[in-house]
Amino acid sequence: MSRRTLAGLILLAWFGALGWLVQRQYGPGPGGAESAARWPVPPGSAFLAVRLGDRQIGLATATVDTLGDSLRVSDLTTIDLPAVDTTPRRTSARVVAMYSRGLQLLRWQADVLTEQGRVASEGTVSGDTLLTEIVTAAGATPETLQVRLRRPVILPGAITLVVASRRLPRVGDKLNLEVYDPLDHEVRLARLQVTAESLFTVADSAEFSPDLRRWAAVHSDTVRAWRLDGAEAGLPVARWIDAAGMPVRVEHPLGATLDRSAFELVQTNFRAQQRAYWDTTVAAPDLRRFGGLPARRGTLRAVASRQGGRPMHLPIPAGMAGAGQAWRADTLGRDTTMADDSLAPMPPVAEPLLADDGTLAREAAAIVGAERRPEVMARRLNDWVRRSITVREGPGQAPAAVTLARRRGSPAERISLLVGLARTAGLRARRVWGLALVEGRWQQRGWVEVWADRWLAVDPDVAAIPPGADRVRLATGGQPRLLDLAVGAGALRLQVLEDDR
């Protein structure tokens, strides 16, 4: 065999092997055309410490796994709450979702542990047009919710992955996504924008120190990250993400931050340390109790955010302004001049909890009668829910039509029913949640606002709420949970400056 022939055979074998490698990497595999696509994001995980100021109060993890022809995206947030009578307390939310290679939502499971009990849900998406979710609360009958989709949706945990899957983020990029929240059971339109780029130094490995009796960072890495601005429940949230879409830092407007670090620093040290100190002064939100009725009916003319509370360098969150309250510097006062809803966030695209088969509309028409004044209509509906729907204890939330049929519901279910009745009666209504002054302490509470040339506050637990009465609205939409309050408002400190009795 001549040298020329031998060289030709070697080159032919080399080209054949190269072609086989290309086919193996990019060509169709056992999964067909679906498996031919490249993964939109690489597998990985991020561990984040939830902090209020200089203390860690919880932890969060985000994980992406590749499983044959699908992606598994897992999110877990755990918060330690102040102990009651030396009894430790914890609240958590865990969501595990499955996506196709094209980041199309297939199914998910969610598990939420609240003060009232545990709520589990599982859902599927059929052909990008029908979303079905089954919600099961402890001691309650499972509820089935269905949503007709206009376009494909994702869960909140995949927002950053979609941004990173398209290309390397650039400052100025904008993106609109329809997101289904399995905790609030709503489809929302998320408006996102990349606003900044920076470098972060993140601890990526640790070793145990016998002297300190805890894990200590031994190596740090520099991570390039982009700031993704959006909103949750009417409150602005800034997410710093890396090129793979994993979170590096999350900033909430009222002081809480989530910072990425090594696993041992975030989880092992946190679980081994003593319970974090919680502020129990009257200026801080009371995380030892949930809800409750305002004990008095005074009118707060001015409430100040004390030092150590809401960061003054951040803009006033949209959910905290308007509807009779306005921030001036660090003071919240009554605002009776606002006659528009320009600060109101965009309502959810779909709310299966408020779906009506005609029963809500018929009941609302019977309650309001021929009345067409929005304020009077709102008060009639509120009084009817307060008198006719018995309060129940326990976790979970049934659709408004189910609550109406049962004539009993939890505080959250009564709020949803009031919103549903108001909307079917032709009124604009929204859920809100914030803080109410109860026995001298600020406690989390939800209520309803109805548009009547201004946002009018109504609450099924009270006959009427005078303007500015012992309440501070923090956010719009969603469900009031201690998890949200601990992360969203845990750093807020309120001091009453003027109080009319």
pLDDT, tens only, 139-171? 778 999 999 998 899 999 999 999 999 889 999
Q: Say which residue the tokens 């009668």 belong to.
A: 369
Radius of gyration of the chain (CA): 26
Of 226, 254, 272, which closes a domain? 272
Confidence grade of residue 35 (pLDDT, cut at 50, 70, 90): very low
What are the pLDDT digits (tens) for 338-351?
444 544 556 688 88
pLDDT at 2: 74
Report the sign of the C-alpha dihedral through residues 466, 467, 468, 471, in that order. Answer: positive
DSSP 267: I
Confidence grade of residue 320 (pLDDT, cut at 50, 70, 90): low
Boundaries of domain holding 260: 44-272
pLDDT at 342: 43
The span from the CA of 417 to the CA of 401, in Å, is 7
What are the pLDDT digits (tens) for 1-22?
677 787 777 888 877 777 766 6
369 vs 236, which has greater pLDDT? 369
379 has a pLDDT exceeding 60: yes
Same domain for 427 and 478, yes or no, is: yes
pLDDT at 133: 95
The answer as to whether 11 is a domain residue is no
CATH of the domain at 469: 3.10.620.30
Q: What percent of the chain has pLDDT over 70?
A: 81
Name beta bridge partners: 230.
237
Confidence grade of residue 296 (pLDDT, cut at 50, 70, 90): low
Question: What is the per-residue DSSP string for 42-69?
Answer: --EEEEEEEEETTEEEEEEEEEEEEETT
343 vs 327, which has greater pLDDT? 327
377: three-class secondary structure by DSSP? helix
302 has a pLDDT exceeding 60: yes
The span from the CA of 437 to the CA of 369, in Å, is 35
318: three-class secondary structure by DSSP? helix
The answer as to whether 119 is a domain residue is yes
Same domain for 360 and 403, yes or no, is: yes
- The whole-angstrom distance between residue 69's C-alpha and the CA centroid of its chain comes to 28
Confidence grade of residue 435 (pLDDT, cut at 50, 70, 90): confident
Same domain for 377 and 469, yes or no, is: yes
The span from the CA of 31 to the CA of 215, in Å, is 43
CA angle, residues 199, 204, 207, in degrees to nearest 5: 145
Q: What percent of the chain has pLDDT over 90?
A: 40
What backbone phi and psi angles, to 5 degrees, belong to 292?
A: 105, 160
314 vs 422, which has greater pLDDT? 422
Same domain for 210 and 164, yes or no, is: yes
Average pLDDT over every residue of 73-95: 85
| Contact by Cβ (8 Å): 235, 251 | no
The span from the CA of 414 to the CA of 234, in Å, is 22
The answer as to whether 432 is a domain residue is yes
Nearest to 459 by CA among 283, 282, 297: 297
Q: How many domains does the chain have?
A: 2
Average the pLDDT over each of 46-60, 307-321, 336-350 and give the range with the smallest value: 307-321
Same domain for 167 and 233, yes or no, is: yes
DSSP 285: B
Q: What is the pTM of this model?
A: 0.83
Same domain for 314 and 450, yes or no, is: yes
Cβ-based neighbour number of residue 387 at 10 Å = 10
Longest dimension (CA), the chain: 108
Same domain for 255 and 334, yes or no, is: no
Same domain for 421 and 489, yes or no, is: yes
The span from the CA of 215 to the CA of 266, in Å, is 10
Same domain for 68 and 212, yes or no, is: yes
| Contact by Cβ (8 Å): 124, 64 | no
pLDDT at 501: 54
Average pLDDT over every residue of 188-206: 93
239 has a pLDDT exceeding 70: yes
Same domain for 388 and 495, yes or no, is: yes
Same domain for 175 and 226, yes or no, is: yes
The span from the CA of 20 to the CA of 307, in Å, is 66
The answer as to whether 71 is a domain residue is yes
Q: Which range is most confident: 113-122, 223-232, 283-292, 447-456? A: 223-232
C-alpha distances out from residue 223 to 43, 263, 401, Å:
17, 16, 49
31 has a pLDDT exceeding 50: no
Nearest to 224 by CA among 251, 205, 201, 194: 201
The answer as to whether 288 is a domain residue is no
pLDDT at 468: 61
Average pLDDT over every residue of 356-373: 93
Same domain for 233 and 330, yes or no, is: no
* Dihedral angle, C-alpha 64, 66, 71, 75, nearest 10 °: -20
Q: What token pair was written down for 303? A: 């409430």
Of 272, 288, 310, which closes a domain? 272
Average pLDDT over every residue of 372-380: 93
Mean pLDDT score across all residues of the chain: 82
Amino acid at position 490, single letter? G
Question: What is the per-residue DSSP string for 25-45?
Answer: HHS-BTTBHHHHSPPSS--EE
C-alpha distances out from residue 310 to 99, 231, 451, Å:
37, 17, 28
486 has a pLDDT exceeding 60: yes
Q: What token pair was written down for 267? A: 């989880």
The answer as to whether 241 is a domain residue is yes
The answer as to whether 20 is a domain residue is no
| Contact by Cβ (8 Å): 275, 264 | no
| Contact by Cβ (8 Å): 260, 429 | no
Measured in residues, the chain has a length of 501
The answer as to whether 293 is a domain residue is no
What backbone phi and psi angles, to 5 degrees, belong to 295?
A: -80, -20
Cβ-based neighbour number of residue 282 at 10 Å = 15
Q: Residue 109 class from Cβ within 10 Å (0-12 exposed, 13-18 middle, 19+ buried)? A: middle
C-alpha distances out from residue 279 to 51, 309, 372, 467, Å:
14, 11, 47, 29
Report the sign of the C-alpha dihedral through residues 290, 182, 357, 405, in that order. Answer: negative
Of 253, 272, 291, which closes a domain? 272
